[in-house]
Chain A
Amino acid sequence: MSKVLMKGNEAIAEAAIRAGCRYFFGYPITPQNEIPAYMAKRMPEVGGCFIQAESEVSAINMVYGAAGAGARVMTSSSSPGISLKQEGISYIAGAELPCVIVNMVRGGPGLGGIQPAQSDYFQATKGGGHGDYRLVVLGPSTIQEAVDLVIEGFDIADQYRNPVMILGDGILGQMMEPVEFNTSSRRELPPKTWATTGNTGQRPRNIINSLFIDPQELEDHVNRIYQKYERIKENEVRVECYNCDNADIIVAAYGTTSRIVKSVIQKAKQQGINAGLIRPITLWPFPTSTFEQWAERQHVKAFLTVEMSTGQMVEDVRLSVNGKKPVYFYGRTGGMVPEPGAVLEEIKKIMRSVMK
């Protein structure tokens, strides 16, 4: 299959179509507007349905209804809009419905700005809405990876009956790269016998619900979901380790920031510093054991987490490294992107202090 040059947002939308998504409910917000616009054009061509909802709140509840009816369904938004969707996301997780949610993160808090950021990491990976639940959070660093993760994300959602979030940012959404759409390796998925498809002549009726008024029933439900999360942790962790063998310092970064770090690693090498990168691809489940393993290695003197935030993923890095090595942080916020020179300076500074 040949490669095509596509904008990130449009490639993500096309990937969803290729994955069999036929329902999209959205609401305009920058910097993800190309996704609903693409879906509005493309859905009628494939016999699908696009609705511009009256709000993000409504859009996510349309997702709930469609997912409950057994469809492959997606919504997308950016940070303030994702905040509005959190109620619905909690219900979707509680009712165990599969769907894909794209967050093209922009700077916050509040209305914030429209430039790229990674400041929704906590919201994405720690629940976001109320109650004990998790999303599977996938953090692509290239448009090709975003396409692949969207396609697989639908399978993950269906396999575990859990919402999957694609955590991108404004850069990933707006830039163009060559991509190809490969849908050849699909998972074996269980039939959606639980869906409310309205054909109760052939089977007992189904109920889509997250209400369990009896405390013991609710605890059983929450524990069952928790066991599902344990299976996800066992089976779905993805991480890239780059130049970590013999590295003196390991940088942790995801998404767009990890690309900057890769170029910093090349520059560092020219200056005689051996730096590596651990790039979590699944932000939840977090690649804890990868960090544990590298933290044990003698040659690794320190970790540095680089984010477009004031330090969110760094908390998971610290929990994983668990005091075995010092963990430093460098971040920019508000739509400002870390500059390679500044990251390199940070690495040098840390190396000077740990080599003393």
Chain B
Amino acid sequence: MIKVFERPKSLTDKPFHYCPGCTHGIVHRLVAEVLDELNIREKTVGVAPVGCAVFAYEYFNCDMQEAAHGRAPAVATGIKRVLPDSVVFTYQGDGDLAAIGTAEIVHAATRGENITTVFINNAIYGMTGGQMAPTTLIGQVTATTPYGRDEGMAGYPLRMSEMLATLEGSAYIERVSVHDIKHITRAKRAIKKAFEIQLAGKGFSMVEVLSTCPTNWGMTPVEALKWLEDNMIPHYPLGVMKEVE
């Protein structure tokens, strides 16, 4: 019998702790499939964030380091400088990357640090219970914007991919979504491309993945996918923001 579907070698057997309907599981799988397909698992060091994906080190079946909140790009820099021939990636959420870790991601990108970042944007803090993220949309209700995000009080949602695409050190920046099969396939292609950019030594690569948080959005998983498509994509347009030759 031919096996047509199996768990990627780059994932451990540990069951995910993620909430029902959360898209972290999908993105973990995509990253793992890419590590398998490029045959780089045995030379990869991943860096886990603080946030919902804090236990990523238990799921990715490669060497892993757990970083302080927002510091994954700095930790990855230290690793990559010591091990230039290895593959180094960070997996970070929107609070980690776009709030507390803004300086670290901007400077890793502008140094052209030859690492790959998988950036999960679900417009909310998940682990701590649904507070406003820097990427929370205007009007979006969260634990800390109970009347909806008001730009006069809380400013505007941050478009990280567009921002990082302006930097010379960024080699490849793409925003994707995982709200349906078609987009999941595209997301995988982007993640693969990002790792290939690193393997080619071209510089900093990042894939921003628009994701859902049904629990903290207060929706069913299906409603959440629809909400992402209707509300997030108009503010966070999909596509390649930057690609060097």
Residues in chain A within 8 A of chain B (CB atoms): 23, 25, 49, 51, 53-55, 57-59, 61-71, 73, 87-88, 91, 95, 196-201, 205-211
Contacts and interface: CB of A to CB of B under 8 A. Distances in A.
Given A209-B65, A209-B66, A62 B78 contact: yes
Contacts of B111: 51
Contacts of B168: none
A25 B103 CA distance: 16
B104 A198 contact: no
Interface string B114-130: 00000000000000000
Given A53-B74, A58-B71, A68 B62 contact: no
A259 to B, nearest CB: 36
A198 B83 contact: yes
Closest 7 CB pairs of A and B: A65-B78, A198-B86, A61-B74, A196-B63, A66-B78, A65-B75, A62-B78
Contacts of A65: 47, 65, 67, 74-80, 82
B54 A211 contact: yes
B81 A198 contact: no
B141 to A, nearest CB: 29
B43 interface: yes
30 contacts: A23-B81, A23-B82, A53-B74, A57-B71, A57-B74, A58-B71, A58-B103, A58-B104, A62-B75, A63-B78, A64-B74, A64-B75, A65-B47, A65-B67, A65-B77, A65-B79, A65-B80, A66-B79, A69-B83, A70-B82, A71-B82, A196-B63, A196-B79, A198-B62, A198-B86, A199-B42, A200-B62, A200-B63, A206-B64, A211-B54
Contacts, number: 132
A84 to B, nearest CB: 12
A68 B65 contact: yes
A57 B70 CA distance: 10
Contacts of B61: 205
* Interface core residue of A49, A58, A67 (most chain B CB under 10 Å): A58
Given A199-B43, A207-B65, A209-B57, A23 B79 contact: no
Given A69-B45, A88-B71, A198-B43, A55 B79 contact: no
A68 B42 contact: no
B186 interface: no
Given A23-B82, A54-B103, A61-B75, A88 B64 contact: no
Interface string B216-242: 000000000000000000000000000
